[in-house]
Structure 1
Amino acid sequence: MEIQETGLKDCLIIKPRLFDDSRGYFFESFNQNVFESKTGLSCNFVQDNQSFSSYGVIRALHAQKGEYAQAKLVRVLSGKVLDVAVDARKGSPTYGQHVAVELSAENKLQLYIPRGFLHGFAVLSETAEFFYKCDNSYNKESEQGVMYNDPTLNINWLIPQEKQLISDKDLILNSFASLSDE
């Protein structure tokens, strides 16, 4: 497994070592011992989630706060997405900055998103299956989110505005400036 820095502290791109031949391919998508030894970060995943979406869907900028904060390891099983992580850790030198990485079934890249980050993605292919591991269980009362089009974040989702598909819930999220400190 190859680890690449993103410019945001502890937010990492993981490139698995691929073994392929005429029969197909194999790769180890995650190995906790290797991850910890290469990054110095500790993570114990307890929940896996999967979603399916069509072109233009933007699942925008969500996080869990407080004791239910989650680190995530995300990847695409089919299709292609633009994956976005925003550092929402007040006091962090990269607070308010984001990284956008194209993840696809073809490139097999993964993004490790530490606790305290907002996360979202936009589907760039006809459809996409998205998979993520979380190091904490979901808790509805701990949800928080930020508008996908927050002007201070200025994220280019690579989807023309007239093609963007956004849930009613995501359309009424607050601004980045109004995030809770909890």
Structure 2
Amino acid sequence: MGHYWETYSLVLGRSMTVRELLARTGCVEDSIFTPEDQEEIDDFLWEGQQEPHRWTAVWAGEEGNWVYLVTPHSASATLPNRLASVSRATTAVAFSRVFAMCNVHLWEEQQEVTSFEVMRSYERSGNAPDRLLPLLEQVGCFDGGLEWEGKGLRIVYELTGVQVPQLTPGSITMASLPAIP
């Protein structure tokens, strides 16, 4: 996704509906819609870029037992209060990219299990910061290299099995997300 946006976030919640994920992240209820064509998608994304200090456009969908939300041009969906809300009675996995900085978050039952910047994955926070250590080693977080976004997205994929599909009319739900909850 980084070839489209230098900044974006991805939040996944297990065992909930798309509307529930949108509500838990704080999306505006009356802004939720299913786009009918690519022009409607493009127009809403463009509109969401015009006032980033107030709101941004998001899209959401589901794959398997997970629902996902993508926030282009913003990492605000990964704020701790939003991830705590998403993880209420379930698990939330999140990834954000802000230019070269890529972060991964794992939350369960409104508690931060582990969070880290992929480039500095040896510095982890949370209640169980080492829980993902074998996975971090498996994807090469400690091997150097510069493909931090790919490593972070691979961690998300290994945890959820979700590969976020392309923006396809009729298969996604869109909404507006206030910049500050």
TM-score, with normalisation over the residues of structure 1?
Answer: 0.32
Say which structure is richer in helix: 2
Say which structure is richer in strand: 1
Q: Which structure is richer in relative contact order (CA contacts within 8 A, separation 6 or more)?
A: 2
TM-score, with normalisation over the residues of structure 2?
Answer: 0.32
